[in-house]
Chain A
Amino acid sequence: MTVTEAPTTTDRGAADPTGGLPGESRFHRLRYRAQVLRREPVVGLSIVLVVVLGYLVIGPLVSVLSDAGRVQLADVGNAKQSVGSLTSYYLWRVFRSPVSAALFWKPLTNTVVVAFGTTLFALIVGGALAWLLVRTDVRGRKWLATALVVPYMLPSWTFSLAWLSLFKNDRAGGQIGFLEGWGVHTPDWLAYGPLPMIICLGLHYYPFVLLLFGNALRRLDAQLEDSARILGARPGTVARRVTIPLMLPALSSAVLLVFGKVLGTFGTPYILGLPTNYMVLSTSLYRSIRNHSAGEAAVFTGVIVIIGIGFLLLDTRLVREQKRFVTVGGKGSMDRVTGLGRWRHPASAIAVLVFVGAVIIPLATLVLSTITKTPGVFNADNFTLQYWLAPHLTGAPGFPHGVLRGSDLYLAAWHSVKIVGTMALCCGLAGILIGYVVVRSDGRIGTLLRQISFLPYLIPGIAFAAASLSLFAIRRGPIPALYGTSLLLIIVLVVTHLPYSSRSGISAMTQLGKEPEEAAQIAGARWFTRITRVVLPIQKGPLVVGVVLPFISGLKELSIVIMLTTTGTQLLTTLSISLVDFAYTQMANAVVLVIAAVAFTSTYLMQKITKTSLAAGLGG
């Protein structure tokens, strides 16, 4: 942090250098641009990034979507056309056929309800918590800042598992629910359908809001608010005219992250919707894929992607309006903590309550399920540690010992950390780089890059995995056949998790003025030096977020890993899934706990080592 003394300029000076050129001739202009290009590799960099990402993202997408217009082998009899011929059969089937209400329209309505509900839920919970943790003297904000991110480290179905263990009634299979066991009959609307989906998904995804929002809130210079206040603005006006507009990029990023993820998630909606037949688009997609109906699956993927893109465009528009606000200049910024006064205890209680609901309850349900023979029965002889520790377990042919015995778990954990860790580091660096390029380059290509780097997020994982497989199975031009190598797995994981990092990077770079870098430039620093010595140190916080989020998310990744590993190299997630199949559910859940533990430990260590991080970023 050597640049805090940099000269303060207003934003006016940072206008496009090509804007007011004196030389009118084409030649002069070109020569001038070439010179700028040499000093500012932003343009070249942005072109490279657009091309690479374009290939990695648009390629698979086109490959998936094209199935929607071609007759698949399975449907020759249904479409009454020959294989591969151009058809509108799938569009007809999904949008206009007698089954389209059940297949598409009802799920579409339900998707809208669940996606908006979840986003709203996550915004309220995450936004309130971010404000409490960053701007107030709420009790225990340091450990809360760490603890409240934990829900994101659990696979999202953990929440539905916990919900069902508590609230399910006789409409669903599986073990008896707690309330049911005590003779309380829960109504269907509480046990299944939109309400539990919104709560479970919301509790899982609010950390997005908390992290992005918290980070932005911390970087926001309290002096700006002070100035408004000094000029006589009321608190409401300050929030409306200063704070919220400055927070908009982070806010709209968070909305997009939650909304986009909810659109494509099928685990939770499927488990919670099945008993009352409350289906969403992702469930329809999942069923099509399970039934090998590629054409139908392509249409669903298309609709999900288009809805997502709609939001992406909206977000782009919002952010373009916001670009003129620069909140981190070379000037010293101030953090201001509001005393909550007599509201301190109630506010702390709310934060703790969220912690209990989003962390303790799902974790406890999971832990209990690994140490009881029959879930939900609390007799002394029903408790056991055998699923963790037993040297030999009967009835578990494929994995005849506790999960902590043998080398399988440790090997899988090592593979997970190695592959996902590499991916996350690449993501983090690429994210800052993309953020830098997007913010510093001329509008159009920046916007393009911003959108392409986010697109993978809007493509449901199951569909994306298969497509990238076919793209890399053979040598294409200079790109060798990577199929079967862990390099391919890492590349595809980087592409699919890049959106987290690029969001975080863009959001942070938007708020970083040009001044610190210009100061370095004046002092004679080259571009590479400027990036490594100025930009990266300032952006250490967002960089960590850009590494940690993909890491956590990648640890839980399943469909891509299954599709792209060929020899059954076990990662933690695949180990968990195979335990469901050939051992005990208890052991599968034990592995899920291990995933959460690895995620948490790594995040924690990362914070300690880098000293700036999610928690430090939020807690001050």
Chain B
Amino acid sequence: MVDRTRRRWIAAATGALLIGAAAVGCAPPSDAETTGSDSPRAVASASVDADFDLDQLIAAAKKEGSLTVYDSSGDVVEAAKAFQATYGIRTTGVKSKVADTLEKMTRENQSDNVTIDAVLYEDGPSLVGQLQPQGIVYTWLPADLSEDVVSSRRNPLDVLDKAEVFTYNTKLYPDGCPIDSVWDLTRPKWAGKLAMQDPLAKPVFIEFFNELEAGANQELADSYHQEFGTEIPGGQENAAKTWIKRIAAADPILTTSDGDAEDAVAAANQTEPRIGLISNAKFRDVKAKGYPMEVCTGLDPWPGLSYPKFAAIASKSPHQQAAQLFVRFMLTEKGIETENYDGGTSPNKKVSSGPNPPGLKSFDELFEFDHSRLADDFAETQQMQDFWRANHG
């Protein structure tokens, strides 16, 4: 008995040592091993059918009989209902977080047992970096609408632009937004006053930072000069990094949901001076809950960011035509109005935009993500997370 016990303890200790050794022996990545061949940065293009015939598509879709669509917004339930009412195809809309959707679609694809036919997907980097290159989904542009869709939003195809906007409390600041530049937020006065979701659990903010670094250095450097009257230390090319670093160091109020960020700014009994970076959809509460909030009009260089919600079809879905018809439906007024009643623009020039939040005239004022950079955003996600982590402390 003693012997066996001892042997077991020795085995356990050996196991622990092995794990320890693995941990100590693990090597940092070295350039020597680089294999450039399977770089994920090649972007698949949205497919367009040359001989497109809408009636044929509708007929084929009806024959397929049913459709399941996933989306990170609960609005998809209404979208599915509207689609079913229009075409008579039994449609289920399921709300699911992006990470869960990605996991499910990947595993369904690997096992050839696909239940998710189409997806409305907000995380561009993982769409372009993970789902497309593995052939799990493709994006598809209906030929009859291709002329109407803004060219910068065709590849990959998005169906809706959403926004995160800098927001203030109009009851506390009746004369307008207390800041006039995004650099104001890096001043000691505003330390601990910016409310936003945790960037390490909300991928769109990390993507935003990467997009800033790639395309907004000049604007941010100019804005810095405007605000402080001096050149940015470290030079222009680091303007975005400097801003991100200072925002992180200014210890923002991080929340687990958009609602909490919104409440921190504009809840009925709120008296703290705060700026929120929140979704445009939350402005429904201005009416519904009487929240006194407005977008920081004229904030330099932009009062927020807009980001796309893409539409993609599962490559192995048995309901290809129905899925395509659904994507087309979401490019029309009747489809997208189930999702943009709280704001947001369709890529279809002929479809009217949803209502803009008070203080914002048009989505054009916002910083816009570059669809062609998504693969790079994907590759740089971790570095940016680490950058945030290091400076947020």
Contact = CB atoms under 8 A, between A and B. Distances in A.
Nearest to A164: B260
Interface in B231-279: 253-257, 259-261, 263-264, 267-270, 272
B260 A567 contact: no
A395 B288 contact: yes
Nearest to A96: B26
A368 interface: no
A519 B53 CA distance: 81
Contact of A563 (B100, B379, B385): B100
Interface stretch (A81-89, A211-219, A239-247, A599-607): A81-89
A580 B257 CA distance: 10
A173 B261 CA distance: 5
B238 to A, nearest CB: 20
B75 A398 contact: yes
A3 interface: no
Given A172-B255, A175-B267, A567 B92 contact: yes
A270 interface: yes
B253 A275 contact: yes
B128 to A, nearest CB: 11
Contacts of B200: 287, 290-291
Interface in A456-488: 466, 469-470, 473-474, 481, 483-484
Contact of A469 (B104, B133, B378, B380): B104
A8 interface: no
A82 B95 contact: no
A290 B256 CA distance: 12
A74 B92 contact: no
Contacts of A585: 259
B267 A374 contact: yes
B352 interface: no
B50 interface: no
A96 B130 contact: no
B22 A77 contact: no
Of B96, B104, B289, chain A has the most CB atoms within 10 Å of the CB of B104
A467 B108 CA distance: 12
Interface in A429-475: 466, 469-470, 473-474
Contacts of A45: none
A474 B28 contact: no
B107 A469 contact: yes
A132 B367 CA distance: 63
Contacts of B381: 74, 291
A436 to B, nearest CB: 24
B30 interface: yes
Interface stretch (A97-105, A134-142, A229-237): A97-105
A212 B103 CA distance: 37
Interface in A294-328: 306, 313, 317
Contacts of A98: 386, 390
B268 A292 contact: no
B332 interface: no
A286 B198 CA distance: 12
A277 B201 CA distance: 13
Contacts of A102: 389-390
Contacts of A22: none
A271 interface: yes
A289 B55 CA distance: 42
Nearest to A574: B95
A80 B255 contact: no
A70 interface: no
A74 B130 contact: yes
B102 to A, nearest CB: 6
A473 B108 contact: yes
Contacts, number: 214
B29 A287 contact: no
Given A377-B268, A466-B107, A80 B34 contact: yes
Contacts of A17: none
B31 to A, nearest CB: 6
Interface stretch (B36-44, B57-65, B218-226): B36-44
Contacts of B24: 95-96
B129 interface: yes
B287 interface: yes
A79 B29 contact: yes
A76 B129 CA distance: 11
A80 B34 CA distance: 5
Interface in A172-214: 172-176, 181
Contacts of B113: 473-474, 481, 483-484
B118 interface: no
B48 to A, nearest CB: 26
B145 interface: no
Contacts of B19: 306
A581 B73 contact: yes
A293 interface: yes
B389 A397 contact: no
B203 A470 contact: no
A89 B28 CA distance: 6
Contacts of A556: none
A395 B264 contact: no
Interface string B67-99: 010000111011000000000000011111101
Contact of B134 (A73, A78, A271, A470): A73
A274 B389 contact: no
Nearest to A89: B29
Nearest to B385: A291
Contacts of B147: none
Given A568-B93, A582-B73, A277 B267 contact: no
Nearest to B70: A568
B115 interface: yes
A286 to B, nearest CB: 7
Contacts of B192: 170-171
A490 B126 CA distance: 31
Nearest to A99: B386
Contacts of A377: 268-269
A172 B270 CA distance: 13
B78 A397 contact: yes
A313 B96 CA distance: 38
A332 B200 CA distance: 60
Contacts of A580: 257, 259
Given A176-B267, A275-B253, A585-B259, A81 B23 contact: no
A277 B95 CA distance: 30
Interface string B110-126: 11110110000001001
Given A172-B255, A563-B100, A99 B260 contact: no
Contacts of B198: 274
A143 interface: no
B355 to A, nearest CB: 13
Nearest to A172: B253
Most chain A CB inside 10 Å of its own CB: which residue of B74, B195, B378? B74
A259 to B, nearest CB: 18
Nearest to A582: B74
A271 B257 CA distance: 10
Contacts of B94: 566-568
B260 A277 contact: no
B171 to A, nearest CB: 13
B2 interface: no
A80 B259 contact: no
B373 interface: no
A481 B111 contact: yes
B78 A173 contact: no
B40 A173 contact: no
Interface in B181-199: 192, 195, 198
B33 A484 contact: no
Given A290-B202, A377-B269, 13 more contacts: A77-B379, A80-B33, A82-B38, A91-B26, A170-B272, A274-B198, A374-B267, A376-B269, A474-B113, A481-B111, A566-B94, A568-B94, A578-B74
19 contacts: A73-B134, A74-B40, A74-B129, A74-B378, A80-B34, A92-B26, A98-B386, A103-B389, A170-B192, A173-B260, A291-B206, A291-B381, A292-B102, A374-B289, A395-B284, A566-B115, A567-B92, A567-B94, A582-B74
